[in-house]
Amino acid sequence: MTELAVFGGKQLVVLALIMPLLGALLAFTIGGRTARWIALLTALVELVVVVSLAWIVVDQQIVVEYQLGGWEPPLGVRLRADGATVLVLLTATVVMTATMISAHADWQPLPDQHETRAGLVFWTLLPALWAAFNTVLLSQDLFNLFVALEILTFCAVPLVCLNGKAETFAAALRYLLFALLGSVLYLLGAGLIYGLWGTLDIGLLALEISKLNRYPPALSLALGLMTAGLMAKTAIVPLHLWLPPAHAGAPAPVSAILSAVVVKAAFVVLLRLWFELMPGSADTMVAQTQGVLGGLAIVLGGVLALRQSRLKPMIAYSTIAQMGYLFLVFPLAGAASAWGAGLLHLCSHALAKAALFLAAGQIITHFGDDRIDHLAGLGHVMPLTLLAFGVAGFSLMGLPPTGGFVAKWWLLQAAIETGHWGWAVPILFGGLLTAGYVFRVLAVALRPAATPALAASTVPHTANAMILLLALSSLLLGLAALGTGLPPQ
């Protein structure tokens, strides 16, 4: 049974990469009105593939590996799917599928119109971006990861400026410059590592590095360069300047994907460097510095989110704050609960943040305004959308029993276990800041409208259903984590 599961898992690992890429190629080649249907069908097939892969890995408690072309590393490229990988893969699949279904009504032309150029770009680049993200999750080769990150960037940047406005072009250009800077630093580090050992396979490198009594200066320099480059891509403070205008100015479905999926890709690679390639380096000064930057991001992002007058910029600054929690994993890596906390926060934030951006997009489209002080009456006009916004916001705050609560609770446990009580301060203070800007929106939205002329909104049922699904998934993820009793080690 296990051999059969491994064989089936290998095919599913390959399909998880091929299906989105095939969907992108078909959507671009056929084009027209068919492009969005191809993208949606691709999303549904990919959902089946990933759920099947997750079932095999979890049910059989196995790690599935596949060598492309049958070539073993260092000549070949190895794909690998374990429990943590399939959890993130499944989360990204749910986010991508729900976002595509939600965007279907807003990104389709009228019956007497042809498919617009923006629509074709949207339905073509989203599956391509998805394929790149899956490659980041499954690949075990540092250069292959670099290529996947580059494809991810060059898919995301055009999506940012789909509305054609001058300010979004400027935001996309800033995003591109920061991403390219990060890419150069990462590639320099990877080149140094290849010069030392002649391979870029993470498994082989980890084996060689584990034999060393002390790290050579070239390896430390390579790790520093790659870490700095990846931190630029994750928009951690002080490398965060590109994120708010890019995420706030992009179309709502694109903003959802950027915050929920794209910025997580570089962080996943960062985890690989520190916990797979060099697992013994968690107590270094660099790890402490990463924690300090994470704490600053939590506070600064929360304060700036509180100061915003519009909904989408507020949610964009919230992404900076929530990414800060992930960087607390590095200084707390000595605790068993730190890894589980980071993994759970990554997934719960992806689900909740996608729901928030999609809800904001529906509010802007159907309510006509995203200025927070002008949202009075929203609870009457768009009750289901506001409900989803509230549930997702509760997860970001860390209210029980959401995924955000369990992740932050495990982080607090890690701080206590390691004796580093100081890290509890940004964790708790960040929750208060998040509550401040989420309850600010809810308080205004639940007030009666100043003008009673507002009619009930005609938000598409599928869009509301997908937004609620994402928000409730973040809640269910917390309940599932609580049901396990202890964080994974």
Which of 124, 139, 154 delimits the end of a domain? Answer: 139
Sign of the CA dihedral running 245, 249, 251, 253 = positive
Same domain for 273 and 418?
A: no
Distance of CA 32 to the CA centre of its chain: 30
Which of 280, 304, 337 delimits the end of a domain? Answer: 280
Task: For residue range 232-246, list pLDDT tens digits in order.
Answer: 999 898 888 898 998
* Tokens linked to 31: 């084009």
pLDDT at 96: 95
pLDDT at 381: 85
* Tokens linked to 166: 């001058």
Q: Please report, rounded to a whole number, the percentage of residues in the chain having pLDDT higher than 90.
A: 53
Nearest to 219 by CA among 255, 194, 185: 194
> What is the pTM (predicted TM-score) of this model?
0.92
Q: Which domain holds residue 289?
A: 282-489
pLDDT at 240: 87
Same domain for 28 and 125?
A: yes
Same domain for 288 and 384?
A: yes
- Greater model confidence, 418 or 189: 189
pLDDT at 387: 94
- Greater model confidence, 30 or 438: 438
Q: Is the pLDDT of residue 486 over 80?
A: no
Give the mean model confidence (pLDDT) for residues 70-88.
85
Same domain for 270 and 288?
A: no
Which of 220, 254, 280 delimits the end of a domain? Answer: 280
Task: For residue range 439-459, list pLDDT tens digits in order.
Answer: 999 999 988 876 654 555 567
pLDDT at 113: 61
* Tokens linked to 53: 């892969």
Q: Is the pLDDT of residue 164 over 80?
A: no
Task: For residue range 467-484, list pLDDT tens digits in order.
Answer: 999 999 999 999 988 876
Residue 66's DSSP bridge partners are 79
Same domain for 246 and 340?
A: no
Task: For residue range 234-291, list pLDDT tens digits in order.
Answer: 989 888 889 899 888 889 999 999 999 999 999 999 988 888 887 665 557 778 888 9
Same domain for 210 and 339?
A: no
pLDDT at 340: 87
Question: Per mean pLDDT, which of 55-64, 222-231, 268-277, 348-357 is the most reliable?
Answer: 348-357
Same domain for 89 and 199?
A: no
Separation between Cα atoms, residue 152 and residue 310, nearest integer Å: 28
Query: Using alpha carbons only, what angle is made at residue 183 by residues 256 and 132, rounded to the nearest 5 degrees?
Result: 45
Q: What is the mean pLDDT of the chain?
A: 87
Same domain for 178 and 129?
A: no
Q: Is the pLDDT of residue 1 over 50?
A: no
Domains of the chain: total = 3
Q: In the 8-state DSSP scheme, what is residue 114?
A: P
* Tokens linked to 316: 């964009």
Task: For residue range 363-418, list pLDDT tens digits in order.
Answer: 988 877 788 998 888 888 888 999 999 999 999 999 999 999 999 999 999 898 88
pLDDT classification of 31: cutoffs 50, 70, 90: confident
For residue 478, the number of C-alpha atoms closer than 13 Å in the C-beta half-sphere is 29
pLDDT at 452: 53
Same domain for 385 and 442?
A: yes
pLDDT at 334: 77
Separation between Cα atoms, residue 371 and residue 312, nearest integer Å: 9
